Amino acid sequence: MDAGTDPPRAAQHPDAPREAGTGAALAELAGLLPEGALVTDPDVLEAHRGDRAHFSTPGVPAALVRARGTEDVSAVLRVAARHRVPVVPQAARTGLAGGANAVDGCVLLSVERMNRILDIDTVDQVAVVEAGVVNAEFSRAVARHGLFYPPDPSSWEMSTLGGNAATNAGGLCCVKYGVTGDFVRGMTVVLAGGEVLHTGRRTAKGVAGYDLTHLFVGSEGTLGVITELVLALRPAAGTPLTAVGFFPTTAAACAAVSDYMADGTRPSLLELMDRPIIDVVSSYRDLGFPPDAGAVLIAQSDRGDLAPGDLKRFAAAAERCGGDTLVSGDPAEAEMLLAARRLVGTAMESVGSYLADDVCVPRGRLAELVEGVAAIAERHGVRIPCVAHAGDGNLHPHVMFDPADEEEAARAHRAFGAVMDLGLDLGGTITGEHGVGSLKRDWLAKELGPVGLRVHRDVKRALDPYNILNPGKVVDLPG
């Protein structure tokens, strides 16, 4: 992508409808949907037209539909396909890549009110949920049955399971347990023409046919709209033991990550905060971290009687890399440490606009990425505080900027792109868990290469021939 271009806007596709088609579609939907489901109030539309991506300008929607079941979603897509009206699926809109941003003249299709937990099966350790169930509420519900749902994005108190699946969201526990897609066994998804597809199964094993379930995981609403999910669960983990390590530099903390995990240790959590991000969070809420700490690593083990040994090895690795470690036996203190990590997004919002990058590299190259980001920040004259799921090599640089300062915003945009280029150069990816949306679409083409991009477009055309599902996101179809 040309670093000097304007930030991407969710523009209308050549095959998108004209105003008359949109008007006819809305009139038809008004007669099909339950009372109150179709909303055209300008103030409501304004409040729903974008997610949390600060550098991806949303378009202007024509309407919002608050779906209450798969039938509503199917009705919307049948009408939208007939009139060639674009549809942008939404839930909690906590995304950071513009994936839920409106395109001009679209219908915003919200599944947020589809929030029922339909079944928790303690024998087969699976659950069936609607797409609008909030992650944290679901996690607490299965915990009451002695079960555990590991994927826990930092937005887990707000983000929905459908949105998590649509972006293949990660979280703090991914280093041991994996991302959302590792727990999705099946789903109900509504296709672009309104047909309802059931994929996957409830069984622990099953290899019949193509893996359509995971075709839709991470597709960001561009291939279909997820309405229900079959999710795998695990037995409840042991009470975790937590340690915090303080390091003179971020590079030293990264070295400790490689050292600690080289022996096969798999902590249940290993999170990195650099000094600039510590300062941002500390200004929002006092953490009690040492003022001279250059970086912090938070490690956790949930292996019961084996946890003390895991954290002893962590402390030894930290010491070899110049760090000092404290192990907390107090659950309340441990929760405070995790709360500090989860506060990063909220604290960043309180200090202004930022671009949340999401580069993931092999763990052994994390230090190179961190040092490279620091150099990019200096070169472009911007601040880039960093936090990371360090055990995954997944760094979240936050490129800060003043949107009222056009020159600074342009520098921030160039720095954002330079970070993604660096991640690719180090053998990584432009997104470990946030998704592509509209914000990273041009860099995705670089990561995929020409053959990969063609295959993506072929799949999109096969499932959405009129390009009405979240057009302009992930991959764009040429006119």
Look at residue 122 in the predicted model and tell me its pLDDT.
Answer: 97
Q: Is residue 15 part of a domain?
A: no
Sequence-ordered alpha helix ranges (H) in 84-198: 135-143, 161-167, 174-177
231 and 244 inside one domain: no
| Separation in Å, CA 156 to CA 177, 198, 226, 274, 349 | 16, 26, 18, 22, 17
Q: Look at residue 205 and tell me if it is in a domain.
A: yes
Q: In this structure, how many other beta carbons lie within 10 angstroms of the beta carbon of residue 172?
A: 25
Mean predicted confidence (pLDDT) in 337-346: 82
Q: Is the pTM of this model over 0.95?
A: no
| Domain of residue 174, CATH code | 3.30.465.10
Are residues 229 and 125 part of one domain? yes
CA distance 130 to 161: 8
CATH code at 277? 3.30.70.3450
Domain presence at residue 202:
yes
Q: What integer pLDDT is reported at residue 286 of this predicted model?
A: 84
pLDDT tens for each residue of 231-287: 999 999 888 899 999 999 999 999 999 999 998 889 999 999 999 999 999 888 887
Query: Over pLDDT 70: what percentage of the chain?
Result: 96
Give CA–CA dist 456/448, Å, rounded. Answer: 9
**Environment class of 130 (CB within 10 Å of its CB; exposed 0-12, middle 13-18, buried 19+):** buried
Domains held by the chain: number: 3
Of the residues 339, 361, 387, the one at which a domain ends: 339
- List, in sequence order, every beta strand (DSSP E) within 348-418: 353-356, 359-360, 386-389, 394-401
CA distance 74 to 80: 10
Give me the phi and psi of 186, to 5 degrees please.
-165, 170
Is residue 311 located within the same domain as residue 411? no
Residues 223 and 130 grouped into a single domain: yes
pLDDT of residue 446: 94
Cα 296–52–67 angle (5° rounding)?
125
Tell how far CA 231 is from the center of its chain. 18
Beta strands in 1-53 (DSSP E): 38-39
- Maximum mean pLDDT: which of 2-16, 88-102, 344-358: 88-102
Which residues lie closer than 8 Å to 318 by C-beta, 6 or more apart? Answer: 245, 247, 256, 260, 297, 324, 325
Range of the domain at 395: 352-436
Q: Residue 420: which of 345, 474, 360 has the closest Cα? A: 360
What would the pLDDT profile of 83-138 be if each residue is shown by its tens digit?
A: 999 999 999 999 989 999 999 999 999 999 999 999 999 999 999 999 999 999 99
- pLDDT score at 479: 66
Same domain, 196 and 244: no
Angle between helices 70-83 and 19-32 (to 10 degrees): 150
Q: What does the block give as tokens for 28? A: 């038809």
Residue 139 has pLDDT above 80, yes or no: yes
Position 168 pLDDT exceeds 80: yes
Residue type, 323: G
Q: State the pLDDT confidence band at 374, using cuts at 50, 70 and 90.
A: very high
CA 41 to chain centre: 29
DSSP string over 107-175: EEEE-TT---EEEEETTTTEEEEETT-BHHHHHHHHHTTTEE-----TTTTT-BHHHHHHHT---TTHH
Task: Note the pLDDT of residue 4.
Answer: 39
pLDDT at position 167? 96
Q: Domain boundary residue among 218, 235, 252?
A: 235
Residue 431 lies in a domain: yes
- Asked whether 382 and 408 are in contact (CB, 8 A), the reply is yes
Assigned token pair, 180: 């959302």
Across the chain, mean pLDDT equals: 92
What's the pLDDT at 106?
Answer: 97
Same domain, 228 and 243: no
Q: What is the CATH number of the domain that holds 375?
A: 3.30.70.2740
- Cα–Cα distance measured from residue 200 to residue 75, given in angstroms and rounded to the nearest whole number: 23
Q: Which of 280, 308, 339 is the last residue of a domain?
A: 339
The verdict on 213 and 244 lying in the same domain is no
Residue 343: how many other CB atoms lie within 10 Å: 18
For residue 26, is it within any domain?
no
Interhelix angle 250-261/307-320, rounded to 10 degrees, is 130
pLDDT of residue 14 exceeding 60, the answer is no
Q: What is the mean pLDDT of residues 364-378?
A: 95
| CB-based contact 11:470 (threshold 8 Å) | no
Note whether 322 and 380 are same-domain residues.
no
Name the strand (E) or helix (H) holding 230: strand 225-232
Distance, CA of 355 to CA of 346 (rounded, Å): 14
Do 186 and 251 lie in a common domain? Answer: no
